[in-house]
Amino acid sequence: GEEVAQTPKHLVRGEGQKAKLYCAPIKGHSYVFWYQQVLKNEFKFLISFQNENVFDETGMPKERFSAKCLPNSPCSLEIQATKLEDSAVYFCASSQSIGRGYGYTFGSGTRLTVV
Amino acid sequence: GQNIDQPTEMTATEGAIVQINCTYQTSGFNGLFWYQQHAGEAPTFLSYNVLDGLEEKGRFSSFLSRSKGYSYLLLKELQMKDSASYLCAVRDSSTDKLIFGTGTRLQVFP
């Protein structure tokens, strides 16, 4: 499709529970990016994929966060044992390529609330 | 290091012109993007600059000076629907990531 589809739109989890978020990139886009947006609009980079391969995971809190992009499946971001500070909007974006001239198309985000 | 600075908030009147500035320091530079984000929605692409100068797109224009690490987004004939956050983002050529500023929240009053 022509949009980045993220599900669910909202997710509420009790502290310590698992949360799983999904993202279907635009068809033909090879790169997928996950960002975490907390208060005051700060976008924090988490991880990026080139097709099924991790491209850059320098932003991932590896103890509890994991992500995958498998062929013929939506990409996923999973948080084990959620904490209150994980409450944020998680945006997925896709890009046809990287480098000069290529921007991102964002999905509408998943709002995660940890209570 | 990597740093992108924008004013936190701005206000303007319907019909007026507003300029939102962005300064950046990144390890590498492969273009600067402006995104608009309405509350609770996804950022949407507004403009892209990779060479120095002004890019005009209807009511919106964006300017870049690479030597100064500076860009601005100019919004003309402001409308109420322009009330949103405006995000400046730089593609860092050394990491291929888009690095975002914290955004400028613009409120347009009648």
Question: pLDDT tens per residue, chain B (110 residues)?
Answer: 678 999 999 999 999 999 999 999 988 888 999 999 998 888 999 999 999 999 998 999 999 999 999 999 999 999 999 999 999 999 888 777 888 988 999 999 99
Beta carbon pairs, A and B, within 8 Å: 62
Q: Does the distance separating the beta carbons of B98 and A33 come in below 8 Å?
A: yes
Closest to B24 in 3D by CA, of B52, B2, B48: B2
Q: What is the pLDDT of residue B79?
A: 97
Of the residues B3, B85, B97, the best mutation for testing chain A's interface (the one with the most A CB atoms within 10 Å of its CB) is B97
Q: How far, in Å, CA of B20 to CA of B11, rounded?
A: 11
- Residue A49 CA to residue A25 CA, distance in Å, equals 11
Distance CA A18, CA A13 (A): 7
Using an 8 Å CB-CB cutoff, list chain A residues near B43.
91, 106
What is each CA distance from B72 to B6, B19, B37, B69, in whole angstroms?
10, 6, 17, 11
In the block, tokens 């932003």 appear at: A59
Which residue ranges in chain A fall short of pLDDT 50? none
Which chain A residues have a beta carbon less than 8 Å from that of B103? Answer: 40-41
> What is the per-residue pLDDT for B1?
63
Q: What is the pLDDT of residue A12?
A: 98
CB contacts of B33 in chain A (<8 Å) are 103
**A45–B93 CB contact, under 8 Å:** no
